[in-house]
């Protein structure tokens, strides 16, 4: 007899057992919230990723991709620092990316979607 959605959590259990020192973060899709129900079953996929938990650009945002961080920094410098030349903006983004290099934290990330 198959346990269905219960089988989806095997990878999470294995990651926790083999990496007990890592923090765990749950990332839920917007499909998981439904005002008609208090709780709903979700399917989840877990994996180890590096995550940036820092407050960036005055937003409380979590990054799982350096590309996303760089894109936000580029947009910030384009919109907020138009007094800088394009080369100065690029250099400022490179410098900020360097500052964040050692701030990424190895974590177990659980991506949850509506089942």
Give the pLDDT score at 2.
43
Expressed as residue numbers, the domain containing 11 is: 4-114
Edge-to-edge strands of the sheet including 104-114? 24-28, 104-114, 42-52
Model confidence pLDDT, tens digit, residues 45-80? 888 999 987 666 666 788 889 999 999 999 989 998
Question: What is the chain's Cα-based Rg?
Answer: 19
Report the alpha-carbon distance of residue 72 to residue 78 in Å, rounded.
10
Number of domains in the chain: 1
């Amino acid at each position: 007899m198959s346990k269905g959605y219960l089988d989806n959590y095997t990878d999470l259990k294995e990651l926790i057992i083999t990496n007990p020192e890592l923090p765990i973060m749950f990332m839920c899709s917007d499909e998981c919230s439904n005002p008609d129900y208090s709780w709903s079953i979700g399917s989840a996929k877990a994996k180890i990723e590096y995550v940036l938990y820092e407050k960036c650009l005055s937003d409380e945002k979590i990054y799982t991709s350096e590309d996303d961080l760089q894109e936000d920094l580029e947009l910030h410098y384009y919109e907020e620092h138009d007094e800088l030349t394009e080369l100065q903006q690029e250099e400022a983004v490179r410098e900020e990316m360097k500052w964040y290099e050692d701030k990424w934290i190895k974590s177990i990330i659980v991506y949850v979607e509506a089942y």
